Amino acid sequence: MPAEANRAVSERPRPEGTTEAVPGKTIGDYTHPDAVMSCRNVDVYYGDKQAVMDVSLDIGRNEVISMIGPSGCGKSTFLRCLNRMNDTIDIARVTGDITLDGENIYDKRLDVVQLRARVGMVFQKPNPFPKSIFENVAYGPRIHGMARDKTDLEEIVHESLERAGLLKEVKDRMDQPGTGLSGGQQQRLCIARAIAVNPEVVLMDEPCSALDPIATARIEDLIDELKQKYTIAIVTHSMQQAARVSQRTAYFHLGILVEVGTTDHIFTNPTHKLTEDYITGRFG
């Protein structure tokens, strides 16, 4: 246990705008009976600064789990641990255990490129490659050797675009640049790109924050469909979005996982005062 979480209540940090201290340990059951990913006592440091403190959380198979909390609470940092995106930051250091299907993802022998195929990611701002729509989706399956031939590759691309709900809109212009699509279409293209390599988990870091309400609704509808086949962990600033799309919700504050529970519980009758105050817009 890190020093922060072991402190007496009077010494624990208090978020600005409230007199309530963060709890000494996470409120609610952070385990899942069918966990695809398991995180235990995860700490993340950026140099000397600790951004995530002693977080334990399971990500259940075929569930959508949302991570909420004010800016700087560590939710995105934690999400990025799940496919080792923090490796790209020199000063970042991750400790604790994170497993995918029981396998330690921080094992030195593990191929990070393979890991990121199994745990895909969609970012806040759509970031299609400066290539054609077809190539954006075909890139992953090609480098991972997933297609036997051209027909096979075309099939994967079509199926991924279909699953991402984009095929109808782009099927007649597959050779045109992905960057020429609208923001919402670009984000669905990025989702198609992530699912083309058949991941087990898709991480979404505020995937709708740059989109208009209709494009947001399309992504939310898509998340609902994708959960039949994939596990989705989503970071969002929109309480309503978390309430709409996820089955479980995890509330982070000051790097600590304050409370986790079913979304119904968190949004109707949360246990901890900080959670209640945050989701009802009383601070943060």
Partner 1 sequence: MTELSESHTVKAYDNELDQLRLLVLKLGGLVVDQILLARRALKERDDDLARKVIARETEVNQLDTDGEELAFKLIAKRQPIATDLRVVLAMIRTITDLERVGDEAKKIAKTARKLIVDEVEPVPQFSRAIDRMAELAAKLMREVLEALDVFDADKAIRVAAEDRHLNWEYKQCLRLVHETLAQDSSRIEHAAEIVIVIKALERIGDHAKNIAKYVIYVVQGRDVRHIKTKQLAKEMGAEVTPPPGKDA
Whole-angstrom distance, CA of residue 246 vs CA of residue 131: 33
Asked whether position 17 contacts partner 1 by CB under 8 A, the answer is yes
Considering only 117-125, 130-138, 174-182, 238-246, which stretch makes contact with partner 1 by CB under 8 A? 238-246
> Is the distance from CB of 177 to CB of 166 less than 8 angstroms?
no
Separation between Cα atoms, residue 251 and residue 121, nearest integer Å: 20
Contact region for partner 1 (CB under 8 A) — 12-20, 101-109, 210-218, 226-234?
Answer: 12-20
190, 191, 243, 245: which one binds partner 1 (CB under 8 A): 243
Residue 262 contacts residue 247 (beta carbons within 8 Å): yes
DSSP of 40-75: EEEEEEETTEEEEEEEEEEEETT-EEEEE-STTSSH
Q: Does 134 bind partner 1 (CB under 8 A)?
A: no
18 is an interface residue for partner 1 by CB under 8 A: yes
**134-139 contacts: CB < 8 A, separation 24 or more?**
134/174, 134/175, 135/178, 136/178, 136/189, 136/192, 136/193, 137/161, 137/189, 137/192, 137/193, 137/196, 138/196, 139/193
Binder among 20, 58, 63, 220 for partner 1 (CB under 8 A): 20
User: If binding is defined by CB under 8 A, does position 47 make contact with partner 1?
Assistant: no
CB of 22 to partner 1, least distance (A): 14
Q: Which residues contact 245 (CB under 8 A, 6 or more apart)?
A: 64, 66, 220, 223, 224, 234
Q: x/- contact string, 62-101, with partner 1 (CB under 8 A)?
A: ----------------------------------------
CB closer to partner 1, 145 vs 281 = 281
* CB atoms inside a 10 Å sphere around CB 8: 8
Work out whether 6 is an interface residue with partner 1 (CB under 8 A). no
Cα–Cα dist 138/132, whole Å: 10
Min dist CB 258 to partner 1, Å, is: 13
Contact with partner 1 (CB under 8 A) among 6, 31, 182, 268: 268
Strands 64-68 and 256-262 turn out to be unpaired
- Determine, following the binding rule CB under 8 A, whether residue 283 of this chain makes contact with partner 1: yes
Which CB, 86 or 263, lies closer to partner 1?
A: 263
Using the minimum distance from each CB to partner 1, give the nearer residue, 228 or 269. 269
Smallest distance, partner 1 to C-beta of residue 228, A: 27
Residues that bind partner 1 (CB under 8 A): 17-20, 239-240, 243, 267-273, 276-277, 279-284
